[in-house]
Amino acid sequence: MKNHFELFGLTPAFALEAESLERAYREIQSQIHPDRYAQAGDAERRASLQWTTRVNEAYRTLKSPVQRARYLLEMNGVDVQFETNTQMPAEFLMKQLALREALEEAKQPAALERLQAQVRREKALLEKHIARLLDAEKDYAGAAGEARKLMFLDKLDAEIDLAFEGVG
Amino acid sequence: MALLQIAEPGESAAPHQRRLAVGIDLGTTNSLVAAVRSGAAAVLPDARGRPLLPSIVRYFADGRVEVGYAAEAKQSEDPKNTIVSAKRYMGRGLKDVTHAENAPYDFLDAPGMLQIRTVAGPKSPVEVSAEILKVLGARAEASLGDKLTGVVITVPAYFDDAQRQATKDAGRLAGLNVLRLLNEPTAAAIAYGLDNGAEGTYAVYDLGGGTFDISILKLSKGVFEVVATSGDAALGGDDFDQRVFCWVVEQAKLAPLNARDMRLLLVKSRQAKEYLTMHGEARITAKLSTGEFVDLDLDSETFCRITHHLVQKTLAPVRKALRDAQLAVEDIKGVVMVGGATRMPQIQHVVGEFFRRDPLNNLDPDKVVALGAAMQADVLAGNKPAGEDWLLLDVIPLSLGIETMGGLAEKIIPRNSTIPVARAQEFTTFKDGQTGMSFHVVQGERELVADCRSLARFELKGIPPMAAGAGRVRVTFQVDADGLLSVSAEERTTNAKASVTVKPSYGLGDTDIERMLRDSFEHAKDDMHARARHEARVDAQRLLEAVRAALEADGALLSAAEREAIERQVAALAAVAASNEHRAIRQASDALNKATEEFAARRMDAGVRRALAGRKIATLEL
């Protein structure tokens, strides 16, 4: 099993049926999970631990749109440069600044909820766009740029989660 | 009196003879043991029919130990030697314990974990817990009529690595084969889900004697998947007692109390709290050793007022778990209430209000965790035929990370990751010619290391001298199915690979366990050897069974020569397995384990293929 997609019997693509992935994941886990080998010898318990760990990692990667995009791009020899490339179109950066300002000003859970809903709508749009670039147009450079934007929004989403703890 | 013996006397045991495995709820206040008998899980009571065992251990100067009701009866008489709520101290240093001044013990701050000075010497919470586990193990063997194959011990979902390690150590110290540490809310979800055929997303609100957990689970046919968990490992019914206790001291204007009076008033406070669950008012009367009388009336309104902040404190983790699960209150189909403290009406009220639905209380909140643990133990022991068993997917409650420059914690494995999980991170040397690198492993959500729990420190030596930044060290975190962490580090740029595995600093080393075992067997030295022999034989038997079953199921994955090589080791182990030579048994077991490594890997691979093939067939049928 060369890659995460193959592990779950899926065709490599960004567009993905969450249900198929989940079903394959659960069926594999029910075959190899350490709970199935609680009475086995050391060799089998170790093998079960290693394989389950790998399957969990593959599942986590494919489930997350950002990680799935990164993984697909890497399969195609493209480095997304999440950590190093911070160049973004001016328009996107302006929008980010506005969103972050809104986050700073949000003092009520309702305001945070509205903000989070907006961020998630934008994420959904980006995901659609990434699917088109990756799966149909094979525009990997373009997809990498969009994936970096998605990573920004993911981080903002997580920061909104944290902010809830301050106001809740 | 073997209740579950299938084979007739004189006949050899059937190959699928049931293995005796039980679930143990090691609680702060009470502990229980439960087993699946004739298909249904039931709590195993003591000889007098009492299902609970108070988690109280009393030590005597002559080495005798009393556990449970007998110890409970003497807790105010002998407060310093009678250890109550030891679970609160598991894996904890003295500085971590809140209200230490309100506990009548002489604490000792030992490295890693605190100890309590008793007439029988200093005792660690692990040793205290082991005494409770021993009693429950013996109770199970007496009522089931045979030796136990293994146990599942439950832990609060929000327990960190140190607390989990301490619990597993307690199991080993009690001489039990710990099949799995299982999160308490997950155990409750198993019992509830199987009993009610529940499907959908559920929340488990578990307020025990000393810990609070909230878990969000997706239940679907045959799968229990924890989506998110949160909680407070130092919040429980005990804290409500403390509030009442403080109220009593304040109202009665009492001077600082001695240990005996402190314990007496804590017991009275607990009784008043429990009484208030059914009544509007409770009277607290006590005669102190100073001659003073306490006589107070506590009404439920006052009780609600003085404990209001505790109830509210549980809601922050509830909100956090929902956010982590990316779910709203409307998505939750039901809220299962677990733990004796959820009997308090104000808890029921607040939870009902928050989730906008009546909480589910149809299983006894004191027993549901033990029942779920028994069901899981039955599955782990392999007593359930394929198709009737279920899959459990649990998570780690707190992020695991490493200290970086400036005292910041860098997360390596985020909270709510499904276990088992492994993640690696690379670090580079920052000085020319640097030959060592030290690491500090922490757990928690905060950014500053000082605000996280320190789990372990270790150093990797033998890095060949290189320019700054050229040495690359890869640190790997592996969390197993018990939620326990092991860490290894490796230098990557040169052929010189140094590697180190650390156990968390609160965990006991094998030598500590051995020493404690020796101590506990001082009165019966032969027992030590008998036990080592017994364990080696049982392990060997289990291994032989497992390998034979594997050969039968998947022998086709091996060439004739490979199969023969394994069968040679099987025969070698079988030849010594019944002997008294436990070293020879261990050696032959190790050899067989080694011989089956490749076979084990192929079986996992085949399992994955089987799962996918099954899926394709299922799709075709649609």
Least confident of A150-164, B189-203, B525-539: B525-539
pLDDT tier at B524, thresholds 50, 70, 90: low
Q: Is residue B323 part of a domain?
A: no
pLDDT at A108: 87
| B380 in the same domain as B419 | no
Report CB contact under 8 Å: A28, B607.
yes
Region for A152 from its dihedrals, namely left if φ exceeds 0, alpha if ψ lies in -120 to 50, beta otherwise: alpha
Specify whether B56 is located in the same domain as B181. Answer: yes
- CB-based contact (8 Å) between B391 and chain A? yes
> Which of B180, B380, B597 lies nearest to residue A43, judging by beta carbons?
B597
pLDDT confidence of residue B500: 62
Domains of chain A: 4-63 (1.10.287.110), 90-167 (1.20.1280.20)
Inter-chain residue contact A28 with B600, CB threshold 8 Å: no
Q: Do B108 and B61 share a structural domain?
A: yes
**Structure confidence by residue, pLDDT tens digits, B552-590:** 999 999 999 999 999 999 999 999 988 888 889 999 999
Same domain, residue pair B496 and B425? yes
* Cβ contacts from A onto B, under 8 A: 134
Confidence of residue B242 (pLDDT cuts 50, 70, 90): very high
Give the per-residue pLDDT at B511. Answer: 64
Q: Is the pLDDT of residue B297 over 90?
A: yes
pLDDT of B545 higher than 50: yes
Kindly report the CA angle at A17 between A13 and A18, in degrees rounded to 5?
Answer: 115
The yes-or-no verdict on residue A94 having pLDDT over 60 is yes
Instruction: Please give the pLDDT value at position A59.
Output: 97
The mean pLDDT of B598-607, rounded to a whole number, is: 91
Is B363's pLDDT higher than 60? yes
One domain, residues B130 and B154: yes
B374, B410: one domain: no
Residue closest to B175 by CA, chosen among B484, B503, B528, B485: B528
Per-residue pLDDT tens digits for B101-146? 778 899 988 777 899 999 999 999 999 999 999 999 999 999 999 9
Q: Which residues of B are catalytic?
A: 25, 87, 184, 206
Q: Higher confidence at residue B2 or residue B265?
A: B265
Quick one: pLDDT band at residue B1, thresholds 50, 70, 90? very low
The verdict on residue B340 lying in a domain is no
Range with the lowest mean pLDDT among A66-80, B41-55, B85-99, B399-413? Answer: B85-99
Which range, B17-26, B353-362, B486-495, has the best average confidence (pLDDT)? B353-362
Residue with tokens 């008033």: B265
Clarify whether residues B382 and B408 are in a common domain.
no
Residue B520: predicted pLDDT: 57
Q: Decide if B456 is inside a domain.
A: yes
Q: Among all chains, which residue has been given the structure tokens 């109390």?
A: B257
Residue B242 sits in a domain whose CATH number is 3.90.640.10
Q: Which of A35, A45, A167 to mutate to test the interface with B (most CBs of B within 10 A)?
A: A35
Contact flag B592-A41 (C-beta cutoff 8 Å):
yes
User: Over 60: is that where the pLDDT of B14 sits?
Assistant: no
Put simply, the answer to whether B610 touches A40 (Cβ < 8 Å) is no
Q: What is the pTM of this model?
A: 0.89
Domain of B579, in residue numbers: 524-608
**Domain count along chain B:** 4
Taking CB atoms and an 8 Å cutoff, what residues of chain A touch B615?
Answer: 9, 23-24, 27
B113 and B25 within one domain: yes
The enclosing domain of B572 has a CATH number of: 1.20.1270.10
Q: Which of B268, B293, B310 is the last residue of a domain?
A: B310
| pLDDT at residue number B194 | 85
What phi, psi does B39 have (nearest 5°)? Answer: 85, -10
Q: Which residues contact A67 (CB under 8 A, 6 or more apart)?
A: A60, A61
* Domain contains B136: yes
What confidence category does residue B4 fall into, taking pLDDT thresholds of 50, 70 and 90? very low
Q: Which residue among B326, B352, B387 closes a domain?
A: B387
Rg (CA), chain A: 19
Query: Is the same domain home to B301 and B445?
Result: no
Tell me how far apart the alpha carbons of residues B471 and B459 are, in angstroms, rounded to a whole number: 15
Sign (positive or negative) of CA dihedral B72, B78, B83, B88: positive
The pair of structure tokens assigned to B465 is 């001298």
Interface of B with A in 557-616 (CB under 8 A): 589, 592-594, 596-597, 599-601, 603-605, 607-608, 610-612, 614-616
Average pLDDT over residues B241-258: 93
Neighboring chain A residues of B223 at a CB cutoff of 8 Å = 26, 30
Average pLDDT over residues B435-445: 88
Q: How confident is the model at residue B190 (pLDDT cuts 50, 70, 90)?
A: very high
Strand (E) or helix (H) holding B619: helix B597-621
Q: What is the DSSP secondary-structure string of B358-422?
A: PPB--S-TTTHHHHHHHHHHHHHTT-SPTTTS-EEE-B-SS-EEEEEGGGEEEEEE-TTPBSSEE
Of all residues in chain B, the percent with pLDDT exceeding 70 is 90
Residues B67 and B185 in one domain: yes
> Which range among B220-224, B279-283, B378-382, B416-420 shows the weakest confidence by mean pLDDT?
B220-224
Among A54, A55, A44, A65, smallest CA distance to A133 is for: A65
Backbone angles phi, psi at A45, to 5 degrees: -65, -40
Task: Tell me what the mean pLDDT of segment B74-90 comes to.
Answer: 92
d(CA B411, CA B395): 16
**The pLDDT of residue B355 is above 60:** yes
3-state SS of B417-469?
A: CECCEEEEEEEECCCCCCCCEEEEEEECCCCEHHHCEEEEEEEECCCCCCCCC
Q: Where a domain ends, among B511, B533, B565? A: B511
- In whole angstroms, give the CA distance from residue B44 to residue B41: 9
Q: Does the pLDDT at position B620 exceed 70?
A: no
If asked whether residues B277 and B140 sit together in one domain, one would say: no
Alpha helix segments (H runs only) across B106-227: 125-144, 161-173, 184-196
CATH code: domain of residue B69: 3.30.420.40
- Are residue B29 and residue B171 in the same domain, yes or no? yes
Residue of B nearest to A35 (CA): B380
Q: What's the pLDDT score for residue B15?
A: 44
Q: What is the mean pLDDT of residues B486-497?
A: 76
The ipTM assigned to this model is 0.92
CATH number of the domain encompassing residue B436 = 2.60.34.10
Query: Could you tell me what percent of chain B has a pLDDT over 90?
Result: 64
Does B35 fall in a domain?
Answer: yes
Give the mean pLDDT of chain B.
Answer: 88
- Average pLDDT score over residue span B378-397: 90
Q: What is the pLDDT of residue B83?
A: 95
Q: Which residue of B has its CA nearest to A6?
A: B612
CB neighbour list of residue B527: distance below 8 Å, 6 or more residues apart: B521
- Whether the per-residue pLDDT at B532 is higher than 50: the answer is yes
Instruction: Flag whether B62 is in a domain.
Output: yes
CB contact under 8 A, A27 and B611: yes
**Whole-number average pLDDT of chain A:** 91
Of B393, B592, B612, Cβ closest to residue A29: B393
